[in-house]
Amino acid sequence: ACTGALLYKNGNLDDAQANLEAAVLNLQLADLPQDMQMIGFFQPYLPDECGSVDLIKAYKSLLKTKSDGLTPIDEIPEAGNAFGPADRAFIEMEIIRIMEILGEDSSRPDELQIFTDEVGKFINYYLTSKQGWFERSYYRMMKYRDTVDTVMSEKRLPSELAYLAFIESGYMYRATSRAQARGVWQFIRSTGRNYGLKIGRGRDERLDPLKATIAAREYLLDLISIFGSESFLLAMASYNAGEGRVQRCLRKVDDPFEDRSFWKIRDCLRRETREYIPRIIAAAVLCENPTRFGLDLKPRSELLKEFDIIICP
């Protein structure tokens, strides 16, 4: 925390954010009471040389000025020759596996080729210029993954939906978008209230990871009821774009029942939504196979062994 404070004071915002997020992650992994998991917990214990920095103010300003989530596609380089035939074949097999879990049809060769290209591009992006964000998001996800899996499995939803939140917020539970969507699942006020989250008078349950996950599950169930259990990708796209936009796009296809597919309406969607699904699948492929792509990421069980939890009376 002290290092992060000094980096922030000297204007090195990227490294400051990484250090302060690591400090918060350590508190969260220790499973301390909620009020002890905030960055301000460190303030009274900072040495004199960095104690002049207001950690809460610094951390909040970094969250507002830094955007680690949906980077504009124009800023993302093509994968090029980043992956050889073996890597590409592995990515394709992982896409097919994930599509089967989601109940999606991955048998169309032309669509699978496009999907593999898109997913490979984002895997390359996460392994290069966005590697720091990806690794921090991975470690944050470890704190919540068991909870998300349990909540989703209660309604027989696939655990892979955890990667939707990975792309929405990087599992930063206080993340706030330009549209004022908040929390791990990035609910705007109206949608959050529609799904039972209490917002107002100093209380914002969008920031409660468990309650927000339950709300996200119910929202996804409603989207699946609209688009069908074999249209998970449409439901996921709707989470980003809104169901109204997806429905309007479906009306434009020749046969909205036979062609009820994300790929049939992809060109009708905004660029952000077109790239949303490949981002999610790329995150899933990398998080499930980190060593296959050269990432040294520890499982949560090993992470917890690195900390001693001391309760002070």
Quick: pLDDT tens for 211-227. 999 999 999 999 999 98
- Is residue 249 predicted with pLDDT exceeding 80? yes
∠ CA(218), CA(220), CA(226), 5° rounding?
110
Name the CA radius of gyration of the chain, rounded. Answer: 20
pTM for this structure?
Answer: 0.74
179 or 50: which carries more pLDDT confidence? 179
Q: What percent of the chain has pLDDT over 90?
A: 44
What pLDDT was estimated at residue 218? 97
Beta bridge partners of 187: 182
- At residue 63 the predicted structure's pLDDT band, cuts being 50, 70 and 90, is low
Q: What percent of the chain has pLDDT over 70?
A: 80
Identity of the residue numbered 257: F
CB 152 within 8 A of CB 101: no
Q: Report which of residues 311 and 263 the model is more confident about.
A: 263
Note the pLDDT of residue 148: 94
Per-residue pLDDT, 35: 52
pLDDT, tens digit, for every residue of 137-149?
A: 999 998 889 899 9
Q: What is the per-residue pLDDT for 188?
A: 93
pLDDT at 168: 94
CA 78 – CA 99 distance, rounded (Å): 23
* Bigger pLDDT: 38 vs 309: 38
189 pLDDT more than 60? yes
Query: For residue 85, what are its two tokens?
Result: 């035939």
pLDDT score of 307: 54
If pLDDT is split at 50, 70 and 90, which confidence band does 73 have?
very low
The mean pLDDT value for 147-166 works out to 94
The pLDDT mean for the chain works out to 82
Query: What pLDDT sits at residue 62?
Result: 67
Question: Over 80: is that where the pLDDT of 20 sits?
Answer: no
